[in-house]
């Protein structure tokens, strides 16, 4: 009996416990990774907003002309609240601040942010993407955290470009959002990890603390641990305390092992079989499954069952975490592709759909039709009726466009500001013109008053319509961007020749 006990205890100490600890280590690695993923996801929304404003003809024109009407139309206090941002900064290529506005959208008051004056705070120049543009790296955007006198902020920056993503490098736009306590609560909710945070005082920072990178970084398993979040200047921004799901580490002698020893008195061979069948193999399978997930950098549920307490807790906890993260990721993915005001697809989502349907049109040799729609004299509409009425008008227009798109098995998206874009597959030229005229009349039938219009006293639209067949795509090697450019030129022609009309071209 003594020998059997020694063998079983030794087996647990030298083989089982290391496997259990490895499984817990893999699980804790996943928890840290989920925190890092949730943190990165928060930047998706800010970068999407920043991209939509930076890659826009109006922003590009403002940096060339410094027309104050652009500011008054786009960056009023209500804009900060609706976008959930706390600051906007526009710089030229020499890091000079062309325009800035900081407004706390929660407390509804302005505040100073001297750290974004890059002439007096030159170490912060790295917030702009132009610092990273090299022959080897042509990225036009950048994001991260920055330490300020009002606490940490997250930022997203992008080079200012035309709507079609062309034009010379003339400057950059930065959006910021304060890191509030609700930010950490949201990260904890998405990652399903218990988090608390604190702001380190100047000069009171443990330099041995590890950065938050999504792994244990060689550390041992523990019930809780501390990580530091650094800003872009490698200065300590925030201390994050992470409480792991496992509140008890595995012990040498547990109830299951004692029961096994008692059973071993009755029949040792049966005991050995049970240990091998119901303990060792599931442990190895679980560890291998988690290691494969780490190597593939993907999550999947553990499809295994076991009667041992540690593994039951581990398997159930991991699968519950997987389900919650999957649901959150699906929701975040959906939100990142939907325009918040009109609930249509945003431009980034449309670009993905357009590329996919472009390939399908080439393979199936079908026709694609693009409608680029612009609300006539919308600037004057906002000036006369206010931005809230303008938002309501855009929502009504978007509703009409979406219903029409669905009627013809198409897709509608907000392309920027008061511009919308519709995509149809397998429409004839006559149907393209028919849909365009249907939209013109449908918007007029909304009877939205517009005394600021130069053509009539109600809201109207102008449309540039392009139809392209598969033969043109293949034989003339036409690219998707050139089709949108043609639609934009037709829209410009329709606006130039009086608005409330369409201009059509078949390629």
**Phi and psi of 241, rounded to 5°?**
-100, 125
The percent of residues in the chain predicted with pLDDT above 70, rounded, is 85
Mean pLDDT (whole number) for 16-29: 75
**Phi and psi of 307, rounded to 5°?**
-90, -5
Q: Are residues 387 and 471 in the same domain?
A: yes
Model confidence band, residue 310 (pLDDT cutoffs 50, 70, 90)? low
Q: Are residues 351 and 500 in the same domain?
A: yes
Please check the confidence at residue 137 and state whether its pLDDT lies above 50.
Answer: no
Q: Residue 134's pLDDT is what?
A: 47
Q: Are residues 388 and 309 in the same domain?
A: no
Is 105 among the domain residues? no
Bridge partner list, 134? 137
User: How far apart (Å, rounded) are the C-alpha atoms in residues 191 and 452?
Assistant: 49
User: How far apart (Å, rounded) are the C-alpha atoms in residues 461 and 295?
Assistant: 53
Q: Residue 303's pLDDT is what?
A: 72
User: In the 3-class helix/strand/coil scheme, how is 256-323 assigned residue by residue?
Assistant: HHHHHHHHHHHCHHHHHHHHHHHHHHHHHHHHHHHHHHHHHCCCCCCCCCCCCHHHHHHHHHHHHHHH
- Do residues 410 and 424 make contact, with C-beta atoms less than 8 angstroms apart? yes
Total structural domains in the chain? 2
Report which of 432, 456, 435 is spatially closest to residue 444, judged by C-alpha positions: 456
Q: Are residues 358 and 278 in the same domain?
A: no
Please check the confidence at residue 267 and state whether its pLDDT lies above 80.
Answer: no
**Phi and psi of 221, rounded to 5°?**
-70, 145
Distances (CA, A) of 34 to 179, 365, 388, 399: 19, 44, 38, 37
Q: Are residues 432 and 294 in the same domain?
A: no
Is 492 among the domain residues? yes
CATH code for the domain in which residue 440 is found? 3.30.70.270
Domain span holding position 397: 347-506
The DSSP annotation for 445-483 comes to TT--B-TT-SS-SB--EEEEEEEE-HHHHHHTT--HHHH
- Catalytic position from the list 31, 42, 310, 418: 418
Model confidence band, residue 132 (pLDDT cutoffs 50, 70, 90)? low
Q: Residue 332's pLDDT is what?
A: 66
Q: State yes or no: is 418 an active-site residue.
A: yes
Model confidence band, residue 343 (pLDDT cutoffs 50, 70, 90)? very high
Is 17 among the domain residues? yes
Q: Residue 135's pLDDT is what?
A: 46
Across 182-193, b (16+ Cβ under 10 Å) vs e yields ebbeebbebbbb
Residue spans of alpha helices (H) in 75-180 = 77-83
Dihedral of CA atoms 52, 53, 54, 59 in degrees, nearest 10, equals 140
User: How far apart (Å, rounded) are the C-alpha atoms in residues 5 and 10?
Assistant: 8
Q: Are residues 313 and 459 in the same domain?
A: no
Model confidence band, residue 8 (pLDDT cutoffs 50, 70, 90)? low
- Do residues 89 and 174 make contact, with C-beta atoms less than 8 angstroms apart? yes
Is 182 among the domain residues? no
Q: Are residues 287 and 420 in the same domain?
A: no
Q: Are residues 305 and 393 in the same domain?
A: no
Q: Are residues 307 and 355 in the same domain?
A: no
Q: Are residues 371 and 455 in the same domain?
A: yes
The model carries a pTM of 0.49
Is 90 among the domain residues? no
Please check the confidence at residue 1 and state whether its pLDDT lies above 60.
Answer: no
Mean pLDDT (whole number) for 453-460: 95
For the chain, the average pLDDT equals 86
Is 404 among the domain residues? yes
- Apex CA 199: angle with CA 195 and CA 205, to 5°? 110
- Do residues 225 and 218 make contact, with C-beta atoms less than 8 angstroms apart? no
Q: Are residues 288 and 397 in the same domain?
A: no
Q: What residues contact 222, with CB distance under 8 A and at least 6 apart?
A: 28, 244, 249
């Amino acid at each position: 009996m003594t020998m059997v006990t020694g063998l079983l205890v030794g087996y647990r100490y030298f083989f089982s416990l290391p496997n259990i600890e490895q499984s817990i280590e893999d699980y804790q690695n996943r928890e840290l990774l989920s925190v890092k993923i949730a943190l990165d996801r928060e930047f998706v929304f800010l970068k999407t907003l920043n991209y939509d404003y930076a890659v826009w003809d109006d922003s590009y024109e403002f940096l060339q002309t410094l027309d104050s009407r652009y500011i008054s139309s786009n960056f009023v206090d209500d804009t900060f609240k609706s976008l959930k941002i706390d600051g906007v900064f526009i710089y030229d290529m020499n890091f000079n601040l062309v325009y800035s506005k900081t407004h706390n959208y929660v407390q509804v008051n302005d505040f100073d942010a001297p750290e974004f004056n890059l002439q007096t705070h030159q170490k912060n120049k790295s917030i702009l993407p132009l610092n990273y543009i090299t022959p080897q790296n042509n990225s036009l955007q950048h994001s991260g955290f920055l330490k300020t006198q009002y606490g940490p902020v997250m930022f997203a920056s992008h080079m200012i470009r035309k709507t079609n993503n062309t034009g010379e490098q003339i400057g950059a736009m930065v959006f910021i959002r304060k890191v509030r306590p609700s930010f950490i609560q949201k990260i904890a909710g998405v990652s399903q990890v218990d988090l608390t945070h604190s702001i380190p005082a100047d000069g009171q920072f443990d330099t041995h603390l590890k950065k938050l990178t999504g792994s244990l970084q060689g550390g041992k398993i523990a019930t809780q641990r501390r990580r530091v979040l650094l800003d872009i200047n490698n200065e300590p921004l925030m201390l994050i305390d992470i409480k792991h799901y496992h509140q008890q580490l595995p012990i040498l002698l547990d109830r299951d092992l004692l029961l096994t020893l008692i059973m071993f008195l009755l029949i040792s061979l049966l005991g050995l079989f049970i240990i091998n069948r119901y303990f060792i193999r599931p442990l190895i399978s679980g560890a291998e499954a988690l290691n494969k997930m780490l190597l593939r950098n993907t999550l999947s549920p553990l499809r295994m069952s076991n009667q041992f307490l540690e593994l039951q807790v581990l398997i159930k906890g991991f699968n519950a975490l997987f389900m919650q993260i999957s649901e959150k990721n699906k929701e975040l993915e959906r939100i990142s592709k939907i325009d918040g005001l009109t609930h249509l697809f945003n431009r980034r989502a449309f670009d993905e759909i357009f590329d996919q349907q472009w390939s399908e049109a080439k393979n199936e040799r079908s026709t694609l039709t693009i409608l680029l729609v612009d609300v006539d004299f919308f600037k004057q509409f906002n000036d006369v009726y206010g931005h809230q009425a303008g938002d309501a008008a855009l929502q009504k227009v978007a509703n009409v466009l979406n219903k029409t798109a669905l009627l013809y098995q198409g897709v509608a998206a907000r392309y920027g500001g008061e511009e919308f874009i519709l995509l149809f597959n397998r429409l004839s030229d006559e149907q393209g013109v028919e849909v365009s005229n249907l939209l013109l009349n449908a918007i007029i039938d909304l009877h939205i008053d517009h005394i600021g219009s130069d053509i009539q006293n109600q809201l109207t639209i102008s449309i540039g319509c392009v139809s392209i067949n598969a033969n043109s795509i293949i034989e003339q090697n036409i690219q998707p961007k050139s089709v949108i450019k043609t639609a934009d030129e037709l829209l410009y022609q329709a606006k130039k020749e009086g608005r409330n009309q369409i201009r059509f071209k078949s390629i």
